Amino acid sequence: MAEYDYDLFVIGAGSGGVRASRIAASHGARVAVAEEFRVGGTCVIRGCVPKKLLVYGSHFAEELQDAAHYGWSVEGMSFDWARLRDTVLRDVDRLNGLYEQTLSNNKVERFLERAEITGPNAVRLASGREISAKYILVAVGAWPVLPEFEGVEHCITSNEVFHLPELPRRVVIQGAGYIALEFAGIFNALGSQVTVVNRSDQILRGYDESLRDRLLQITMARGIEYKFQCPIRKVEKQEDGSLMVTAGNRDPFPADAVLVATGRRPKTDGLGLESAGVQLGEKGEIPVDEYSRTSCPSIYAVGDVTDRVQLTPVAIREGHAFADTVFGGKPRTVDYSCIPSAVFSQPPLAGVGLTEGQARNAYGNIKVYTSDFRPMKNVFADRMERGLYKLVVDANSDRVLGVHLIGPDAPEILQAAAIAVKAGLTKAQFDDTVAIHPSMAEELVLMR
């Protein structure tokens, strides 16, 4: 008889956990996975996928307005929040089913209940069943952080925003990271009055400063109000169901929904990690080595629960590398350099490599090339918004250190440019590439 019930027991069926389960099973491992909510994880169930669908839906407000400039007459326009919301949730159901099918097709046993670690090779399910495994992988992700202030129970997070019964007329969003600004753009486009309040005086910390400034200018022109150095101190529910928000030293102002988007914390509370001697960081994260191993040799962790990069594609790569290393006889690690990222704000921005500030600190002698242009689409639609593309280049080697874009379809364009930056291509090689005309992407090879 086998010494353990399973070769691998995975806690959490998100992007990283599902990939690790599937690949480990393909290597011949006996695999089980426990998930207390739904298969798919944050990205599929309550994160980037449904949020991107809301972004698409909100774009039609602008497209329909612009249609007249292209010769289209659109009459009787109206918007139904419930229809968009329910369409998005149906697609989440579809994706949940596909993820379950992936596990089933790979003969991964599923336990749709909570699991807690009881030792280096043991877990206990919520039903009380005890299970042993040679290896345990923790892939439970992260959870929204709610700051402490009076009335916080009246606020929502990115978990609940997809289930709002109706479109709020007035939305207050605390935070200025990518989640906050993506939802600010969605609600603004759908017609809500949006106010962003933030503890600091910056948005999108970590992104290139020029892009951040451009996004701030454009979104303010679109009607989004910002209150900086102004964290929420109190939220009071009124008799009519609306909310009164007190932020910073400002006078209270009304809202119909308050969305808190001030960050996410690894979801390790109550997981029983201490029973196996797994050390945690200050924010509850699980420190791991380059092969995703924790301080307990039989327990690994991937994805947002660790102290690395909180991005879905990164979690997928970590899960795959873990399975290849432990069960495939092919030890390998994940390269965290030059990871591209995007913010699906309106307009969206995207970047890869070093920002201008980071490059100056690291290399000193750099060259910066920019293209500040009005996209053809905006010209035809009589919109004054301008795009901004930036190349950050090492002056000594001519290597492109970073590419940063803001404008329509910026994330779609950046993906190809990220390959060039990752490959270490030079500005001269960009210049040698023939442009695709007319396109916005051609600006990447025309900067002189």
pLDDT in tens, 147-195: 999 999 999 999 999 999 999 999 999 999 999 999 999 999 999 999 9
Q: What is the pLDDT of residues 91-129, one digit of tens each?
A: 999 999 999 999 999 999 999 999 999 999 999 999 999
The pLDDT value given to residue 105: 96
Whether the per-residue pLDDT at 1 is higher than 60: the answer is: no
The one-letter code for the residue type at 192 is: S
179 marked as binding residue: yes
The pLDDT value given to residue 198: 97
The pLDDT value given to residue 307: 85
Answer yes or no: pTM beyond 0.85: yes
| CATH hierarchy code of domain 152-262 | 3.50.50.60
177 marked as binding residue: yes
Please state, in angstroms and as integers, the Cα–Cα distance from residue 269 to each residue in 41, 126, 141, 187, following that order: 17, 15, 12, 32
The pLDDT value given to residue 37: 87
Catalytic pick from 69, 154, 163, 437? 437
Q: Is 398 exposed, middle or buried (0-12, 13-18, 19+ CB in 10 A)?
A: middle
181 marked as binding residue: yes
Distance between CA atoms of residues 362 and 355, nearest Å: 10
52 marked as binding residue: yes
Residues 6 or more apart in contact with residue 78 via CB below 8 angstroms: none
Superfamily of domain 347-445, CATH level 4: FAD/NAD-linked reductase, C-terminal dimerisation domain (3.30.390.30)
Distance between CA atoms of residues 240 and 261, nearest Å: 25
Examine domains 6-144+265-327 and 347-445 and report if their fold is the same: no
277 marked as binding residue: no
17 marked as binding residue: no
**For the chain, domain boundaries:** 6-144+265-327, 152-262, 347-445
The pLDDT value given to residue 253: 97
The verdict on whether 320 is a catalytic residue reads no
Question: What is the three-class DSSP state of 402?
Answer: strand
Q: What is the pLDDT of residues 405-416, one digit of tens each?
A: 999 999 999 999
Query: Residue 66 — pLDDT band, cuts 50, 70, 90?
Result: very high
Whether the per-residue pLDDT at 45 is higher than 80: the answer is: yes
Query: Residue 444 — pLDDT band, cuts 50, 70, 90?
Result: very high
Average pLDDT, the chain: 96
Of 69-78, 205-214, 294-303, where does mean pLDDT reach its minimum? Answer: 69-78
Crossing angle of helices 81-105 and 48-66, in 10° steps, is 140
The pLDDT value given to residue 106: 95
Distance between CA atoms of residues 298 and 7, nearest Å: 11
Question: What is the three-class DSSP state of 159?
Answer: coil
Residues of the chain with pLDDT > 90, as a percent, come to 95
| CATH hierarchy code of domain 6-144+265-327 | 3.50.50.60
175 marked as binding residue: yes
Distance between CA atoms of residues 306 and 288, nearest Å: 7
Q: Give the pair of three-digit tokens for residue 50.
A: 């449904």
What single-letter DSSP state applies at residue 420? H
272 marked as binding residue: no
Q: H helices within 222-265, ranges in order?
A: none
Query: Residue 398 — pLDDT band, cuts 50, 70, 90?
Result: very high
Whether the per-residue pLDDT at 309 is higher than 90: the answer is: yes
Distance between CA atoms of residues 361 and 355, nearest Å: 10
The pLDDT value given to residue 217: 98
Region 136-154 average pLDDT? 96
Region 60-74 average pLDDT? 92
The pLDDT value given to residue 124: 98
The pLDDT value given to residue 404: 98
The pLDDT value given to residue 315: 97
Q: Is residue 11 a contact partner of residue 124, using CB atoms and an 8 Å limit? A: no
Q: Is residue 302 a contact partner of residue 287, using CB atoms and an 8 Å limit? A: no
Q: What is the pLDDT of residues 316-344, one digit of tens each?
A: 999 999 999 999 999 999 999 999 999 99
Edge-to-edge order in the sheet of strand 387-394: 341-343, 349-353, 400-406, 387-394, 366-373
Query: Residue 300 — pLDDT band, cuts 50, 70, 90?
Result: very high
Q: Is residue 305 a contact partner of residue 138, using CB atoms and an 8 Å limit? A: yes
237 marked as binding residue: no
